[in-house]
């Protein structure tokens, strides 16, 4: 049993914290909106008032927040987690943020005598609950070796070391752009079939079970028939990752034409008021433009 902390108890972070508690670990957590963490308190989570308090009370601190600004907010300042760190403590940042920011925060963590790895996950609510997450890790190899048993046994079945700090979030961004592009292409195919006279449910089933049916299409494809009440990963969050990819593409001189296209449709979806819906809502944006009832 480890003494763990968790900062950011949203859709994924909250479920991951619950999973860690189910494995028998002691957990102290922080969430900007305290009420959203009450279900975890009911399960035994100790709720802290600040990220600093989490870092002071835990030996290993997980962080999963929405974006670069949110990471800066929970890391920096007198109440940030960096201020609460001590030698030998470890931060496992599972957020998808700018690689440059991830490296900068890791440097501040090391100034405290602690260490940090970036460890974003590939997967969704369904893969987390099924225990099938894939985790990529960037940072010092020795630190990775220390946290690997915790990540491998208690979070996800596949953990891959990809190199130094910032490289895991780079890998996550490269992965997520593919998810967005797949969803857009899938939506185009479904709409083309539907306007030809094929039932939407039939088109979804055929594509999802064909050679085009990646795991993401198989679990998210049905959302074009019925969207979940709670977004697994919403349009705004996906656009944040897509824009990080476009920024990386400009810096590294890699053309990303399909990523640029999906960015436009994510913008359209947000303009239609769909920003808080699962990013499968790009289908709804396309459907409205196509004159199809959704």
Q: Distance between CA atoms of 290 and 2, rounded to whole angstroms? A: 53
Contact, 125 vs 232, CB < 8 A?
yes
Strand partners, 159: 135
Q: Is 137 helix (H, G, I), strand (E, B) or coil?
A: strand
Contact 283, 191 (CB under 8 A): yes
DSSP conformation letters of 37-73: GHHHHTTTPEEPSSHHHHHHH-SEEEE--SSHHHHHH
Rg, the chain, Cα only: 20
Concerning whether 132 is annotated as a catalytic residue, the answer is: no
Read off the tokens for 190.
């479904």
Residue with tokens 């593409």: 249
Q: Check 23, 108, 158, 172 and give the catalytic one.
A: 172
Active site residues: 172
């Amino acid at each position: 049993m480890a003494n763990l902390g968790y900062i950011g108890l949203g859709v994924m972070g909250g479920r991951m914290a619950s999973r860690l508690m189910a494995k028998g670990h002691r957990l102290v957590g922080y969430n900007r909106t305290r009420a959203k963490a009450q279900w975890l308190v009911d399960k035994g989570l100790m709720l802290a008032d600040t990220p600093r308090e989490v870092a002071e009370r835990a030996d290993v601190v997980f962080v999963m927040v929405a974006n670069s600004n949110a990471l800066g907010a929970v890391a920096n300042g007198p109440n940030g987690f960096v201020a609460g760190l001590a030698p030998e403590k470890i931060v496992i940042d599972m957020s998808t943020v700018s690689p440059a920011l991830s490296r900068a925060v890791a440097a501040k963590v090391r100034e405290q005598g602690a260490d940090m790895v970036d460890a974003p996950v590939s997967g969704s609510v369904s893969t987390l609950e099924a225990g099938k997450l894939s985790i990529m890790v960037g940072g010092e190899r020795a630190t990775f070796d220390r946290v690997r048993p915790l990540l491998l046994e208690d979070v996800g079945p596949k953990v891959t070391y990809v190199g130094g700090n910032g490289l895991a979030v780079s890998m996550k961004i490269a992965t997520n752009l593919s998810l967005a592009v797949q969803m857009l292409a899938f939506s185009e195919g479904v709409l083309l079939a539907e306007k030809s006279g094929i039932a939407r449910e039939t088109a979804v089933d055929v594509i999802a079970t064909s050679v085009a049916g990646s795991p993401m299409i198989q679990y998210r494809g049905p959302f074009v028939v019925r969207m979940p009440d709670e977004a697994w990963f919403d349009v705004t969050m996906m656009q944040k990752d897509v824009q990080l990819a476009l920024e990386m593409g400009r810096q590294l001189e890699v053309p990303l034409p399909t990523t640029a296209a999906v960015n436009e449709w994510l913008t359209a979806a947000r303009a239609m008021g769909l920003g808080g819906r699962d990013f499968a809502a790009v289908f709804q944006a396309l459907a409205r433009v196509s004159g199809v009832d959704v």
